[in-house]
Amino acid sequence: MAKYSWPEKPTLLGSAVTRLDGPDKVTGRARYTYDINRPGMIYGRMVRSPFAHARVVSIDLSPAEKAPGVRAVIAWKEPGAQVMYQGDPVAAVAADTEERARDAARLIRVRYEPLPHLASVEQALAADAPAVFPGGNTQTGATDETGDLEAGFAKAAHIVEATYSTHVITHVCLETHGCVCEWDGDKLTAWVSTQGVYPCRIGFADGLKIPQANVRVITQYMGGGFGSKFAPDVQGLICAKLAQQAKAPVKLMLDRKEEHLDTGNRPSAAAHIRAGVTSDGMLTAFDGQSWGTGGAGALSGFPLPYIYNFPIRKRTHKNVFINAGPQRAMRAPGHPQGCFLTEILMDELADRVKMDPVAFRMRNLPPAAPNAMWAEYFTRGAKAFGWDKRHATGDPAPGPIKTGMGVSAHRWGGAGRGSQAHVDIMSDGSVVVKCGTQDIGTGTRTIVAMVAAETLGLPMSAVKPEIGDTMYPFSGGSGGSTTAASVTPAIRVTTVNALDQLFAKVAPTLGAKPEDLVAQGGRIHLKDNASKGVAWKDACRLIGTEPISVDGKWEDGLSGAGTSGVQFAEASVDIETGIVKVTRILAIQDCGLIVDKLTAESQAYGGVIAAINFALFEDRIIDRVTGQMVNPNMEWYLLAGMSDVPTIDIMLNNMPERGVIGIGEPPTVSTASAIANAVRNATGATIRSLPLHPHKVLAAIEQQKAGGTN
Amino acid sequence: MTVSRRDFLKSAGVTSLATAVTAAGAAETEAQTGPRVVGPGDLPVTLMVNGKRVELRIEPRVTLLDAIRNRADLTGNKRVCDRGTCGACTVIVDGRTVYACSTLAIEVQGKQIRTVEGLSTGNALHPVQQAFCDVDALMCGFCTPGFVVATVAVLEKHPNATREQISRGLDGNVCRCGTFVRIMEAAMKAKGVARG
Amino acid sequence: MKAFAYVNPASEREAVAALKIDGIALPIGGGQDLLARMKDYIDTPDRVVNVKGLDATVTSTPDGGLKIGSAVKIVDLAEHALVAKLYPAVVHAAGEVGTPQIRNQATVGGNVNQRPRCWYFRNEEFVCYKKGGSRCFAENGENQYHAIFGNEGPSHIVHPSSLAVPFVAYGARFRVVGPAGEREVPAADYFTMPTLQNVLKENVLEDEEILTHVILPAPGAIKTGHYEVRYKQSHDWPLAFTTVVLTMNGNTISSARVVLGAVAPVPWRSKPAEAALAGKPLNAQTAAMAAEAAVSEAKPMSGNAYKVQIAKTAVKRAIMQAAGIRTA
C-alpha cells in the first residue's frame, strides 16, 4: 500500500485552473531566452555549409576578425573535415550588434570541394548510388517475426498489398534554438531555450570540458520544443566559446532557415505491406518491409503494425541515410508514422469484407485494459460523431464537394519518475516550491503550484512555484509526456512531508496528535472537528526562525503509464481542385488523473492541430538535384492558420485511480490517419501517402476513374 | 532626421505634430540638390511607442522589430520568421496592424506605435489579454503577444466581429502549439467588453 | 540585409533622380517584398528610395474610369467602394492578398512590381537565370508551383501579382515616369515573357523608372468574375486564379477577356477561352467549354500537371460567378 496518494475529494486537482504565467505571457513581460538582454551582451552568428555534401578545403577567418564590431571568431570544422548536409556548422562570429555579426559572418571565406550527395531516399536506394556514408547508405535492422506467414496468408480470403508512406517534417519551434551564455570567471550561466535544463547542464559541461558544478542553466519560459530541444547543441557550445573569447555575454539565436535545416525533424516512414483478412473480418497476417530516412546518419524506426491484432507478423526496417539534417524526436516519435501506415490499410481491409470501419477495428483489438480502452472509445465516439450517417467509400452526393468520415486509434506511454523537489514553509506562512523542471508550454508551472496548494489546503496564490533552473532540485527533461507524471508525485511527496512537520508543531497546541490533523480551506484543523483548528498563518508562526525545509522525490503509487485514444475526422474534398478541408475532429483520450483540466485540454487541441498540419500542409522539400532545402521558411513550409482549423471536440477521460499520466503526445498520433481515411471515404480513392496535397488527391481521383486505387 | 520636414509632417498627422516639430530639431530644410540621403551608418531615430518617445541611434536597415527588441528592451513582441509570414511581431501603427519585422524603423517615425506592452495598464490587463488568460488561449506563449495585438486590432475595427471576421483578421498569425480554438473563444469573449 | 542609404523624395522627379546612382538603387513601397529579398541577399541595394510619398489617391478620370496611385495601400484598395462598384475583381483580388498585416502596408505599385516567389529565386544558394546564372532549377527540380503555360523557357516562374491579373483583364494602363519623361504602358504589355535578354526582370520597367499610376478605363456594360484557388485558406499563394471580364449583349457574351494568374511568367491571357466565349450564352455549359479551351494549350512541367485541372476549375467558376451561378 503506497504511503502517498492523491486526495479522494480534491478541491483543485481536476478542475480548470488558469495558467499562472498567463498574465506574464499575454503582456509580453515573460522573458524567453530570445528576450534576455544582459549588460554588455553581444551577438553570435554561425556560418554553415551551403552544400549537401562537401569537404572543407580551407576556412579563412581573417576578414571577419578585422570587420567592424567583431569581438570573437571561431572555426568549428577543420580543413579536411566533411560537411554532411546543408546547414552543417562550420564557423561562427560574435559582434557588438546583430547586423555587424551577420555582416562579419558573410565575410568568412570557406572553400568547399563539393562531393556526391544523396538528396532523397530514391537516390540512396538506387543501384548506382554513390557511397556517401561510411558503412553504407542504408542499415537494415533485425527481422521481427511471429508465426508462419504463408499459413497466415493462406487463411486470408482477401489480401491487400500496397505501399504507404509519410514525409519528413520539421519542428518549427516558434522560438528558434539558441542561448545566452555569460561567464563569471570559470562559471557559466546559460539561458537556453530548452526542454531540459538538467540535460543541458551535462551537455555544456561535457562539451566544454568543465565541471557540471560550474554550469547553471536557466529556462523560465521557452517558445516550443516538440522534442528538438534537449541539449546545448553545437550552437550552445559555440555560444559559450564565443563568450569566453570575447569576455562578454553572447546571445546566439538561430534564424528560421537554420532552424529548418539543423534542429531535427520527424523522419520519413514508408512500408510495402501485404496484409490478409478472413471473410468474416479477422486479421490473419501482416508482412511489412519498411524504411525511412532520418537524414545524415540518423535512424528512422517506428512501430509497425500499430494497435490491431495481427496474429502472424513479419517486419523488417531499413534506415536510409541521405545528406539532410539529422532527425530528432518529434512529438510522439514513430507513432504518427506507424499509425498512418496501419490505419489506411485497415480501411482498405474493411472495404474488402464490406464491414463498417469501426466495427472492423473493434473486431481486431487487443484485449481491453485501463490503458487500452479503444472499444469503449470507438463506441462512444461513433455515437457522438454521428458515424451512423457515414456513407460507404465514395460520397454519392452530386456536385464537386464530397464529404467523408474517418477514424483512427493510438496509444502512448507517458510514465514518469525521478523528479525531486524542495519545499520551504516560512514563519509568515509563505510557501515556496522548487523543482528543476521546465514549462515548455504545457502548464508545468501551474500544476506544480496546484499540487502544492491542494496538499497544503491553500489557494494557488499562497504558493510560489520556482522552476526552470538547475539551482533547483533535479528533474529530467520534458519529453515523452513524462513531466506531469514525474513532477507532480515529487511535489506531492515533498509537500506532504513538509505538512507533516507543520502538523507536528501544531498538534500539541490543539491537544491532538499529528495524524488527527488535516489542512483544508486555509486552516489546519482536526479531521473530525473542523471548528477545532488554526488559520494557516497562525499555524506557521509556530515555525520560528528556522523554516520548514524539506527535500523530497518521486515515489511510486501516484502516477501510471499507458494511455489509449481514438479520433474521428470529417473532411470535405473539392474534387475539381483536389483541395481538402477538415471540418470536424473528435478526439477521445484517456489520461490518468487530470491535474489541470484547462491545460490538459489545451494539450489535446494542440496535438490535434499539429497532426492536421502533418496531414495536409507542412513538408520539408529538398531539391532533388542539389540536395538543398527549397522551403526553409514559413512561407512555403505551410502551417495552418485560423481559417484552416476545423471544429475540434475533445473528450478527456479522467481516470484518477490510475494516477497522473502525461498526455502531451498521444493526441497528435491519430488525427492525420483519421483525416486521410475521411478523404478516402469522401472521394472513393485511396491516398496512401502524406501530405494530402491537391496533386495527390487529383491523381488518386483520376486513377480511380481509370480503374481504381482501391 | 531621415525625412524632409514636409513629408514628415504629411505623414505624422495632427496629433503628433508637436513631436514632429521637436524631433525635426535643428536645421531640417530640403537641400537645394534634392532630398537628404541618410545612412548607411547610424542616425538618430525617434519612435513613439505606447505613447512614449524612444530615442535611438540606428542604421536605416534596422527593422522596427529589431529596434524595439534589441535597442529599447521592449521584448514583448517576438521575432520568429523575420519575413512577414507568422505574425509574432504584429504591432499596431497608426491604428493598423503591421509586421514589425517587415517595417523599417526609420519609416515609422512620427507614427503612433502600439506594442503588446502598451495594452495593459500596471497589473490591469486589456480585456483581450484577460480573455486569453481566462480560456487558456495560450501555451508556450511565443505567438501570444502577436495574436493579442492582432485580436485587439480586429475588435477595434469590428467591435461586433463575426467568427468569420475574426478568422480573417487573425489569418496573418500562426501558432505551433495549436491554440487557435481557444484564441477564437477568447476573441468572442472579449467582444463588446470596453475598449482598452 | 546589407547596409544601405535611404532617401525620402518629395516628388516623382526627385524619386527618379534618386534612383540614379553609381551602384544599385531600388524603390521601396510597402517593403513587404523588398525587405524579405534584402534579408535573403537576393537584392543588395546601396540605396533605397521611398516611393510611398507618390500619389496615394484613387481619382475618377474624365472618361468614367479610375486612376489609382501606385502608393495606394492594398487595404485601402480592397475597401474602396467605387473600385468595388466599377472593378469588383480588383477589390476581390486585393482582399485576398497575403494577410491583414501585409495589406496594411503593401502598395499597389509594389504588388504589381513584386518579384517571383519561386523558391530557387528566393534562396541565395541557387544562382539561376534571374540572378545572372545560366540555368533554371525548376526544370529538373521541384516545380509543383511553377508555370503550366509559356513554358518555352528560360524561366518557368509564375508571376506573383494578384492585382496584375484583373488589371490586365480590365484593360488597364500603367503610367511610368523615368529620366526621359513619362509614358503609359498597357498592362498587357507591361509584363514580359522571359527571354535570355530580359530574364533578369519580369516587366518593362527600366532601372530608373517608377510606376506611378494604374489607369482603368470606364468598365462599360460588363459582367465580371474572379476566382482564386488556394490550398491553405489562411495565408497562401494561389495555385491558380482567374479574372474574366465579359462584354454582354443581353445574355450573350459578345466578347471576353480571360486572364489567368499563377500559371505563367506573365498574367496569362487565354485567347482560346475568349474565342470559346464569344457569341455564346452565359451559362454553365459555356463556362465548362471555355475552361477546357483555356487549358488546351497548357504545357505543364514534370511536377505540376495537377495545376492544369485547378486552372480549368478557376476559369469555369469565374465565368459561372459572372453568370451569377453559385459555385463551390
Residues of chain C with pLDDT under 70: none
* pLDDT tens, residue by residue, A517-532: 999 999 999 999 999 9
- The mean pLDDT of A294-301, rounded to a whole number, is 96
* Predicted pLDDT at A710: 62
> How confident is residue A414, by pLDDT bands cut at 50, 70 and 90?
confident
Q: Is C217 on the interface with B (CB under 8 A)?
A: no
Q: Is B165 on the interface with C (CB under 8 A)?
A: no
CA A234 to chain centre: 21
- The mean pLDDT of B13-30, rounded to a whole number, is 35
Which chain A residues are within 8 Å of B115, Cβ to Cβ?
Answer: 28
CA distance, residue A401 to nearest chain B CA (Å) = 21
Q: How many pairs of residues across A and B have Cβ atoms under 8 Å apart?
A: 170
* Predicted pLDDT at B170: 98
> How confident is residue A225, by pLDDT bands cut at 50, 70 and 90?
very high
Round the CA-based radius of gyration of chain C to a whole number and report it. Answer: 19
Residue type, B167: S
**B167: its cell numbers:** 478568422
CA–CA dist A394, B50 (Å, integer): 56
Interchain contact, B125 vs A641, CB within 8 Å? no
Mean pLDDT, chain A, integer: 97
* Predicted pLDDT at A592: 95
* Predicted pLDDT at A708: 72
CA distance, residue C8 to nearest chain A CA (Å) = 23
Which chain A residues are within 8 Å of C140, Cβ to Cβ?
Answer: 624-625
Closest among A433, A494, A500 to A462, alpha carbons compared: A433
Among all chains, which residue has been given the C-alpha cell 467588453?
Answer: B193
pLDDT of residue A467 exceeding 80: yes
All chains having 3 or more CB pairs closer than 8 angstroms to chain B: A, C
pLDDT of residue B22 exceeding 90: no
Where does A353-432 have alpha helices with state H?
A: 357-363, 374-385
> How confident is residue A709, by pLDDT bands cut at 50, 70 and 90?
low
Interchain contact, C233 vs B36, CB within 8 Å? no
* Predicted pLDDT at B33: 64
A259, A138 Cβ separation under 8 angstroms: no
pLDDT of residue A601 exceeding 80: yes
Q: Is A260 helix (H, G, I), strand (E, B) or coil?
A: helix
User: Residue A687, CB half-sphere, CA atoms under 13 Å: how many?
Assistant: 33
* Predicted pLDDT at C66: 98
* pLDDT tens, residue by residue, A623-666: 999 999 999 999 999 999 999 999 999 999 999 999 999 999 99
Strand pairing class (A312-320; A283-293)? parallel
* pLDDT tens, residue by residue, A427-465: 999 999 999 999 999 999 999 999 999 999 999 999 999
A284, A309 Cβ separation under 8 angstroms: no
Domains, chain B? 38-118 (3.10.20.30), 127-190 (1.10.150.120)
Angle between helices C306-322 and A694-706 (to 10 degrees): 100
> How confident is residue B1, by pLDDT bands cut at 50, 70 and 90?
very low
Which chain C residues are within 8 Å of B10, Cβ to Cβ?
Answer: 53
* pLDDT tens, residue by residue, C255-313: 999 999 999 999 999 999 999 999 999 999 999 999 999 999 999 999 999 999 999 99
- The mean pLDDT of A399-413, rounded to a whole number, is 97
Bridge partners for C244 per DSSP: C225, C258
> How confident is residue A3, by pLDDT bands cut at 50, 70 and 90?
confident
Domains, chain A? 22-30+415-553 (3.30.365.10), 33-115+177-253 (3.30.365.10), 265-414+560-705 (3.30.365.10)
Q: Which of B7, B39, B106 sits opposite C3 (nearest CB)?
A: B39
Interchain contact, C8 vs B103, CB within 8 Å? no
DSSP state letters, A133-195:
STT-SEEE---EEES-HHHHHHT-SEEEEEEEEE--B----SSPSEEEEEEETTEEEEEE--S
Angle between helices B144-157 and B127-135 (to 10 degrees): 130
Strands of C20-111 (E only): list them: 25-28, 47-50, 58-60, 66-69
* pLDDT tens, residue by residue, A105-163: 999 999 999 999 999 999 999 999 999 999 999 999 999 999 999 999 999 999 999 99
Q: How many pairs of residues across B and C have Cβ atoms under 8 Å apart?
A: 114
